[in-house]
A and B are shown apart, each in its own frame.
Chain A
Amino acid sequence: MTISIELPISKQQASLLKAGDRVSISGTIYTARDAAHKRMIEALDNGQPLPFPIEGAIIYYTGPSPAKPGNPIGAAGPTTSYRMDPYAPKLLDLGLVGMIGKGPRNAEVKEAIQRNCGLYFAAIGGAGALIAKSIKKVELIAYEDLGTEAITKLTVENFPALVAIDCKGNDLYEMEKRNDQHSIS
């Protein structure tokens, strides 16, 4: 069964999702990966505002390939999330609700997810052409000079993902827990 998520999502709605749930996300999400995160944290350290409202936002870790004429975007699958681990807790504490990426997160990120009732979604790594089909509109928001790493605002419809870490800290990447869940279901 796939759960449809219409963004923005409240913390109360977020708390109902469980690790392992298959979801289909529609609404507005922001792209940011390595270099954009570095700049955002530098901005915060210097007392400057972030380039988009972080409260209630979802960040997608991706660096898309260029759009062909007529398409809003090129291939746009997730990049590996652990590289954003040093930055994610601060953003979660500021109100970020969710992140979409691939691969496990460290203990600090998991704690921040639990502390703030956030979510970590996993998209299918290496399925950039398939995922691009769910991206309908792309708008440049900041850091244009970073090229593929610029921050953009995406309008997505039925973006396919899984809940990888839920609000209670359950983690689909942790095998023992995953096996327990399988045996329960």
Chain B
Amino acid sequence: MRRINVDQITDAIARLAQETNYFLGGDVCRILSKRKESESSDLAKDILSMIEQNIVIAGQEGIPLCQDTGVACVFLEIGQEVYLEGGWLTDAVNEGVRRGYKDGYLRKSMVADPLRRTNTGDNTPASLHVDIVPGDKVKIIFAPKGFGSENMSRVAMLAPSQGKNGVMDFVLQTVKSAGGNPCPPIVVGVGIGGTFDQVTLLAKRALLLPLDKPNEDPFYRQMEEDLLDQINKTGIGPQGFGGDTTALAVRILAAPTHIAGLPVAVNINCHVSRHKEVIL
């Protein structure tokens, strides 16, 4: 057994909360810059250029890229050979969120109850997902998720007969009805299969995949390319003001499902698509 003190997890999360909110991943920046070059609308080009300026200012000055510094989504992969000591894991994760959001001047956006709506004051609790995996390491993925785009996300329980076309139609409809609301250009995470609960998590995990690395499954690679093409032909454009760049990428994750079902979920992220991981 390898012993890991949960304080290490707290420290890592506090650091990741700040880094993810100040610095955007290279994949997003590369696609933004490429899209800006190929945009045919002048207004869209200008908006993409302002988005790039925002990335520079945020990084240089340590100001959050977006004031919505998100729900703290934390994904832990804990090796089965690891013994965690020094406190409870969930407490350690929330302490990391508490510290990172306070020290990093990040916005506290969580309310304790969905209907009575009192702010918890420290952005806890995290949305925490834990998987037990082989090995003796702990992988921590931190992904702050803004709610302008979260609100535009959808789930549907399709019939198997609707197949690939049904899934593609649902994704396209979801993006079209979201329009200018989720701060396009967006990143589209699609989950297909599993159960009602699993499919939404698949869609969220799809947002954690690198945007410029093709899907290993040629079937889904083609589907991602086709969807991206169709989404960018809608003309919604950056911020909903027209243009060729409505989405930067579409990523799909699929899972085994029941003979009677075809669940599909679309989790939309804005261009401030933030996530980072460390391995302890």
Give chain A's interface residues, CB within 8 Å of chain B.
35, 62-68, 71, 74-77, 79-80, 82, 102-104, 122, 124-130, 132-133, 146-148, 160, 162, 172-173, 175, 178-179, 182
Contacts and interface: CB of A to CB of B under 8 A. Distances in A.
Contacts of B69: 65, 75
Contact of B53 (A64, A130, A162, A175): A130
Given A68-B62, A125-B183, A125-B239, A63 B47 contact: no
Interface of B: 47, 50-51, 53-54, 57-58, 61-69, 105-109, 117, 119, 121, 148, 151, 179-183, 235, 239-242, 270-272
Given A125-B270, A127-B51, 13 more contacts: A65-B69, A71-B63, A79-B67, A102-B148, A103-B180, A104-B240, A126-B270, A127-B66, A128-B64, A128-B65, A129-B63, A160-B50, A162-B241
Nearest to A133: B57
B47 A124 contact: yes
- The interface residues of chain A, by DSSP majority, are classed as loop
23 contacts: A35-B117, A65-B105, A66-B105, A66-B107, A68-B105, A75-B64, A75-B69, A80-B151, A102-B148, A103-B179, A103-B180, A122-B241, A124-B47, A125-B183, A125-B239, A126-B183, A128-B58, A128-B64, A128-B68, A130-B57, A173-B240, A178-B241, A182-B242
Given A67-B105, A126-B183, A130-B54, A77 B241 contact: no
Nearest to B55: A129
Contact of A124 (B51, B57, B242): B51
Contact of B239 (A35, A102, A133, A178): A102
A78 to B, nearest CB: 9
- The interface residues of chain B, by DSSP majority, are classed as loop
B67 A62 contact: yes
A130 B67 contact: no
A160 to B, nearest CB: 7
Contact of A173 (B61, B67, B180, B272): B180
A42 B155 CA distance: 34
A65 B109 CA distance: 9
Nearest to A147: B119
Given A103-B181, A104-B240, A128 B109 contact: no
A79 B149 CA distance: 11
B63 A63 contact: no
A49 to B, nearest CB: 24
A128 B63 contact: yes
A127 B185 CA distance: 12
A55 to B, nearest CB: 28
A132 B241 contact: no
B60 to A, nearest CB: 9
Nearest to B69: A65
Contacts of A79: 67-68, 148
Contacts of A71: 63
B107 A129 contact: no
Contacts of A128: 54, 58, 63-68
Nearest to A181: B242
A77 B66 contact: yes
Q: Which 5 A-B pairs have the closest CB atoms?
A: A125-B183, A129-B58, A130-B54, A103-B181, A75-B67
A72 to B, nearest CB: 12
Contacts of A77: 66-68
Contact of A103 (B63, B119, B240): B240
A85 to B, nearest CB: 12
Nearest to A149: B119
